[in-house]
Amino acid sequence: MTKELFKNIPSKVGDLVRGVESGRIGLPDLQRPFVWQDSKVRELFDSMLRGYPIGYIMLWESPANYESKKNSIGSNDKTYVEAKELVIDGQQRLTALVASMYGVKIVDKNFAEHEIRISFNPLTREFAVFTSALEKAPEWISKVSDVFLAKENNTISTLRRRYIRELNESRDKKDMNRLTDAEEDLIENNINALLNLTDYSLPTLEISYDAPEEDVADIFVRVNSGGQSLNENNFIQTLISVYENSTNDRINQFCKESRIPRDGTS
C-alpha cells in the first residue's frame, strides 16, 4: 500500500484562527490580494451557523530544510518566531474568517486596504454584508468582529445589554412593544450561537514535513484546480511570502505601484 503523505487533524475554527494570529500557521493571503467578494464571506458564516460543511483546510508541516529561513506570518504580535505550518489549500476561506471575525484588514485586488464587515441580526439569525443603513438599524450588530472581540475582552455582557437597550429605545420611539423576556432570551442564545462558531469543526489535512517539495507543489496545484486557477508559480509565491518576507514585500510593492497610476497620469 502506498504511504500517505498526509494525516487528518481534528481542528476547530477558533484554533486555526488563533494559529494564524500567533504566527504558528503561515497564511499568505493576509499579505496579498484577497479575491473573495464580501457576499461569499456572508455565505460562509450562514453555512456555519446552519451546520453546513464549508470545505477543508490543508496544511504543510514546516519542511525541515527551511529551518534557517522561516519568518512569522500572522496579524498582530507573534507568539511564534517562525511558522510551524503553511496553508496549502483553503487560504481564502481561512483569510475570510480571520479578517471578518477579528477586524484584520486585508488588501483587495487593487492593493487597497479593505475591512471585511459582516453584520448579524440576533433576533432572526441572519447575516448580511455591511451597509451604512445596517449600521444605523438597531436590530443589527453591524460587525460580527465586535462580538468576537467583546468575548476576547470579557465585555460580551456589556455588548448584549447595549444592544437590547438601544433596540428598546428604538421601539419606544416607534410606539412599538418593548422586547419580551422570550425575545431577550432569543437574543442571548443567538449571540452565543455566533460565538460558538469558534468551535465549528473544520476538517484539516496536514502534509508531512518530509514530503518532497515536488509532491507538495503538485498537491498544491491539484487541490486548487477546482477553485482559483493556481500553478507552480503560485506555490513558489506562497513559499516566498512565508519564508522570505522582505522579498515578498518588494514583489507586492511592485505589483501595487503597477496598479496605481502615478500623479499626472491616467
Number of helices and strands (H, E) in the chain? 10, 9
The residue ranking higher by pLDDT, 214 or 141, is 141
Question: Parallel, antiparallel, or unpaired for β 57-61 and 204-207?
Answer: parallel
pLDDT digits (tens, 9 = 90+) for 162-200: 999 999 999 999 999 999 999 999 999 999 999 999 999
Region 41-45: mean pLDDT is: 97
Highest mean pLDDT among 86-95, 131-140, 233-242, 243-252: 131-140
CA dihedral 22, 25, 30, 32 (to 10 degrees): 140
CA distance 147 to 250: 36
CA distance 244 to 265: 33
Q: Which residues lie closer than 8 Å to 104 by C-beta, 6 or more apart?
A: 30, 75, 98
| Phi, psi angle pair for 235, to nearest 5° | -65, -40
Band of the pLDDT at 225, cuts 50, 70, 90? very low
Band of the pLDDT at 212, cuts 50, 70, 90? confident
Of the candidates 69, 105, 106, 86, which has an alpha carbon nearest to the alpha carbon of residue 20?
Answer: 86
Per domain, the residue ranges of the chain are 6-116+199-258, 118-198
pLDDT digits (tens, 9 = 90+) for 130-155: 999 999 999 999 999 999 999 999 99
CA distance 133 to 7: 46
Q: How high does pLDDT run on average in the chain?
A: 82
CA distance 77 to 72: 10
| Phi, psi angle pair for 122, to nearest 5° | -70, -15
